[in-house]
Amino acid sequence: MSALRILVPVKRVIDYAVKPRVNKAQTAVETTGVKHSMNPFDELSIEESVRIREKKSAPGGVEDIVAFSAGPTKAQDILRTAMAMGADRSIHVEVKEGDDLEPLGVAKLLAKVVEAEKSNLVVLGKQSIDDDAGQTGQMLAGLLGWSQATQASKVSFLEGDKVEVTREVDGGVETLRAKLPMIITTDLRLNEPRYASLPNIMKAKKKKLEKKTLADYGIDGTRRLKTTKVIEPPPRQGGGKVEDVDGMISKLKELGAI
């Protein structure tokens, strides 16, 4: 079986625990002064790739794990995290804040990276939690003409370059089998990502981080979609509290419910 050359695309997003707010101009979500972290699904992708190597689950072994991110300079922070978690090296393509790529742009870029890095397995998050598009993996599979298994909850390897992926679907689980090269997107139940340990954070500093541009890959990042307006969802009509049963009855009467 061929040795795995895994590509793991990761994205820097507003921290999952932070409540996003719309900016004053209503053009986007406010990002300045807001904590950013690695997209949680991408953490799962890194973790899974590292586990494949550690557990020696792929018969041909893992030759290379490269983390890749297109984003502002700060995206290098999450590449360092990815390397502290176990990626061998990383590539950063500088894309200015505000010029964010669309899923199709990212997929086209990744297709070029796959070609340059001779990857035979791409592990992506099933979606990024900032715009929740959930399209990149599928588009990439389409562009490359590779097999895809989305929303993986379990990944195992069989003889003859075959990969078995279990995915949770409504009403049960589905098991897919495909041959390398392929695309896998990760779902929450796949694994529990590790913490970045101090020794590994220090080692990660010495790992290679290549800086590239869109032009290096011959990609034009121009957006094809235009965002006209971003607004908050209407506030939930909060429930009121009543002191006691009498209060409840009079409230119900007041609302004409009884």
Partner 1 sequence: MAMRSRFALAVRRARISTGTTSSRAALRPLTQARWKSTASTEDAEGVAKGTTGTSKTVKFTSETYPEIKRDPKFAQISEDHVRFFKELLGKDSAVIDGVTKDATDDIEPFNGDWMRKYRGHTKLVLKPGSTEEVSKVLKYCNDNMLAVVPQGGNSGLVGGSVPVFDEIVINMSRMNQIRSFDDVSGTLVADAGCILETTDNFLAEKGYIFPLDLGAKGSCHIGGNVATNAGGLRLLRYGSLHGSVLGIEAVLPDGTIVDDLSKLRKNNTGYDLKQLFIGAEGTIGIITAISVHCPQRSKAINVAFFGLESFEKVQEAFKEAKGQLSEILSAFELMDRPSQGLVKKVTNNKQPLESEHPFYCLIETSGSNSEHDNEKLETFLEYVMENEIVSDGVVAQDETQVRSLWGWREGIPECLGHWGGVYKYDVSIPLSELYDLVNETREKIEAAGLKGDNDSFPVVDVVGYGHMGDSNLHLNVAVRRYDKAVEKVLEPFVYEWIAKRSGSISAEHGLGLAKKNYIGYSRSDNMIGLMKQIKNLYDPVSLNHSSRSPPR
Query: Site residues (CB under 8 A) for partner 1?
Result: 15-18, 33, 35, 37-38, 40, 43, 81, 127, 129, 132, 188-189, 192, 195-199, 201-202, 243-244, 246
Pick the closer one to partner 1 by CB: 46 or 114: 46
Residue 5 vs 126, nearer CB to partner 1: 126
DSSP structural state of residue 215: G
Does an H or E element contain 139, and which? helix 136-144
What minimum distance in Å lies between the beta carbon of 235 and partner 1? 14
Report in angstroms how near the CB of residue 202 gets to partner 1 at its nearest. Answer: 6
Q: Pick between residue 244 and residue 254 the one whose CB is nearest to partner 1.
A: 244
Contact 8, 42 (CB under 8 A): yes
CB 134 to partner 1: min, Å? 8
**CA 215 to each of CA 112, 117, 176, 208, 221: distance values in angstroms, whole numbers, following the listed order:** 11, 17, 37, 21, 9
Given the complex with partner 1, which of 55 and 160 has the nearer CB atom?
55
b/e for 200-212, b at 16 or more Cβ within 10 A?
Answer: beeebeebebeeb
- Residue number, 2 or 31, with CB nearest to partner 1: 31
Least distance (Å) between residue 63 CB and partner 1: 25
For the bound state, the minimum distance from the C-beta of residue 135 to partner 1, rounded and expressed in Å, comes to: 13
Determine which helix (DSSP H) or strand (DSSP E) holds 107, and give its type and residue range: helix 103-117
35 and 11 in contact (C-beta within 8 Å)? Answer: no
Q: Identify the three-state secondary structure at position 168.
A: strand
